[in-house]
């Protein structure tokens, strides 16, 4: 989830090599839209739980499992499905995955049975896991090596937008179309995306049998485990606070401004992605260290000023700026390190990412019940410093100093 290594470059000699010195935005934005759709499909039910519960005849708690089953499907599918489809041409595989969202969002829209709906959400999550496993490697193959980091920054813009607007947008659409109508909207978006990909995105071959390394061998490559550790620590830290942002804001007197704070976070995260995209190809290691150090500072501000509205706003701005580029940095690092095993390595990233998201919910919930929301920033500080130490130690493999491409 590349043409960055010599083995894959050799395998792709028969395909047109990317020669553009500008990013092919119409092609890359198709991947941006795919990421946006995958996250929207995951998070959108959270704002519709009362409607979904009434429609399926279950409690809101059981309706919330539509989000859980989708995430579980992504975790289960990412590594085995991406590993099993490495020989498949990339565009048909991506179209099948987006088609999976189309089909199973449509099944969800039609279903009035809770069990069938859960099953549809699980398979839709599996389709999303395949999309996430494909996007980074596919996008990197569209551009020259020295633009690959910037390309991933463009692809990554869809994530904070979806995370920021997914739930409120779903809630708003639900008031107009009903909860089933929202799933029809998601199906329509998937169908349009399939047309977009078919029309503009070029195809690439999968890997030959000689290129396909065993999953265990890729996992044991120098640097891979360090990157996966940083992914887990960084995303866990983020989700401890993000999942329980409402009670944290409440203690600063901003309980009725959670939507505004999420908007501030989303806007600053997009700025963070832009900054990362500008510099990731010239100094991936430096930007990663800077981002994690910035997250530590943001955590400190939020910890010391947890009951001050001004300090919380400053902390949220710093949090968004330093977190926004995290997916770009981590996807670039693991793809560079894995070489021709990049797609499988990216599927490992997807799995660890989703486990960290789930872990953030569990850890945050335990902290909220035991020590209160004021403890969140101090946990963020500890996790970000730990991640900073891992990046600092991974100088030879994983997070190398200097530009990604020499010369």
Three-state SS for 12? coil
The pLDDT value recorded for residue 20 is: 55
Say what the pLDDT of residue 405 is. 64
Which structural domain range is residue 345 located in? 215-393
Structure tokens at 381: 């500080």
Cα distance between residue 196 and residue 111, in whole Å: 28
- Contact between 122 and 70 (Cβ < 8 Å): yes
* Cβ atoms within 10 Å of 146's Cβ, excluding its own: 15
Does 295 fall in a domain?
yes
Q: Using an 8 Å Cβ cutoff, are 166 and 40 in contact?
A: yes
pLDDT on residue 6: 40
Domain finish residue from 200, 229, 264:
200
The whole-angstrom separation of Cα 186 and Cα 168 is: 15
Residues 28 and 130 in one domain: yes
Helix (H) or strand (E) holding 208: none
Residue 186 lies in a domain: yes
Return the pLDDT at 4: 39
Q: Within a domain: residue 72?
A: yes
User: Do 220 and 188 reside in the same domain of the chain?
Assistant: no
Q: What is the model's pLDDT at position 368?
A: 86
Whether 180 and 264 map to the same domain: the answer is no
Name the domain boundary from 139, 172, 200.
Answer: 200
Q: What is the pLDDT of residues 311-363, one digit of tens each?
A: 999 999 999 999 988 988 998 899 889 887 878 888 888 889 888 887 887 88
The verdict on residue 398 lying in a domain is no
Q: Which long-range contacts (CB under 8 A, 24 or more apart) does 365-370 make?
A: 365/244, 367/240, 368/244, 368/247
Residues 188 and 229 in one domain: no
Instruction: Check residue 209 and give its pLDDT.
Output: 65
Judge whether 364 and 244 are in contact, CB under 8 Å: yes
Count CB-CB contacts under 10 A for residue 119. Answer: 17
Number of domains in the chain: 2
Residues 237 and 363 in one domain: yes
**Helical H runs in 220-341?**
224-243, 245-250, 258-304, 309-323, 326-338
Residue 194 maps to a domain: yes
Domain presence at residue 207: no
Question: Which is nearest to 38 in space by CA: 175, 196, 193?
Answer: 193
CA distance 143 to 130: 21
Within 13 A of 144's CA, how many CA atoms are on the CB side?
9
406 in a domain, yes or no?
no
Q: Is the dihedral of CA 214, 334, 145, 202 positive or negative?
A: positive
Same domain, 53 and 149: yes
Q: Does 233 lie in the same domain as 327?
A: yes
CATH of the domain at 121: 1.20.1250.20
The Cα 230–Cα 64 span in angstroms is: 29
Both 192 and 136 in a single domain? yes
Nearest to 197 by CA among 26, 29, 30: 30
221 and 303 fall within a common domain: yes
Q: Is residue 345 part of a domain?
A: yes
Task: Please tell me the distance from the alpha carbon of residue 134 to that of residue 323, in angstroms, as a whole number.
Answer: 22
What local confidence, expressed as pLDDT, does residue 1 receive? 40
Q: Domain check: are 50 and 27 in the same one?
A: yes
Q: What is the pLDDT of residue 37?
A: 94
Is residue 172 domain-shared with residue 220, that is, in the same domain? Answer: no
Ranges of the chain with pLDDT below 50: 1-15, 19, 406-407
* Token duo for residue 30: 């198709």
Task: Decide which of 200, 233, 261 is a domain's last residue.
Answer: 200
% helix, strand, coil for the chain, step of 5: 80, 0, 20
Q: 181 and 234: one domain? A: no
């Amino acid at each position: 989830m590349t043409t960055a290594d010599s083995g894959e470059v050799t395998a792709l000699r028969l395909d047109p090599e990317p020669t553009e010195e500008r990013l092919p935005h119409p092609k890359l934005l198709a991947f941006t839209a795919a990421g946006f759709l995958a996250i929207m499909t995951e998070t959108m039910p959270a704002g519709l739980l009362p409607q979904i519960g009434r429609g399926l005849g279950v409690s809101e708690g059981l309706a919330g499992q539509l989000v859980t089953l989708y995430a579980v499907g992504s975790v289960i599918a990412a590594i085995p499905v991406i590993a099993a489809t490495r020989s498949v041409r990339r565009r048909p595989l991506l179209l099948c995955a987006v088609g999976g969202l189309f089909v199973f969002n449509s099944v969800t829209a039609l279903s009035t049975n809770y069990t069938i709906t859960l099953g549809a959400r699980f398979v839709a999550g599996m389709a999303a896991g395949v999309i996430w496993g494909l996007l980074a490697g596919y996008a990197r193959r569209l551009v020259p090596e020295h633009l690959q980091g910037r390309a991933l920054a463009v692809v990554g813009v869809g994530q904070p937008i979806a995370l920021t607007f997914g739930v409120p947008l779903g809630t708003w659409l639900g008031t107009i179309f009903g909860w089933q109508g929202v799933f029809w909207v998601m199906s329509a978006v998937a169908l349009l995306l399939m047309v977009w990909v078919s029309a503009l995105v070029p195809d690439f071959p999968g890997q030959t049998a000689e290129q396909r390394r065993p999953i265990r061998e890729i996992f044991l490559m120098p640097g891979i485990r360090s990157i996966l550790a940083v992914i887990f620590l960084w995303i866990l830290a983020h989700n401890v606070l993000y999942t329980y942002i409402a009670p944290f804001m409440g203690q600063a007197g901003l309980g009725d401004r959670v939507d505004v704070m999420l908007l501030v976070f989303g806007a600053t995260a997009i700025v963070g992605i832009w900054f990362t995209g500008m510099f990731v190809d010239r100094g991936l290691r430096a930007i990663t260290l800077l981002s994690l150090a910035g997250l530590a500072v943001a955590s400190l501000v939020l910890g010391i000023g947890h009951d001050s509205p001004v300090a919380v706003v400053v902390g949220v701005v710093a949090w968004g700026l330093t977190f926004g580029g995290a997916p770009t940095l981590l996807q670039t690092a693991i793809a560079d390190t894995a070489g021709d095993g990049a797609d499988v390595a990216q599927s490992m990233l997807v799995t660890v990412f989703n486990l960290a998201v789930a872990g953030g919910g569990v850890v945050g919930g335990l902290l909220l019940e035991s020590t209160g929301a004021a403890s969140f920033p101090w946990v963020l500080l500890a996790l970000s410093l730990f991640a900073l130490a891992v990046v600092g130690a991974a100088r030879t493999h994983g997070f190398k100093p200097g530009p990604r491409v020499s010369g």
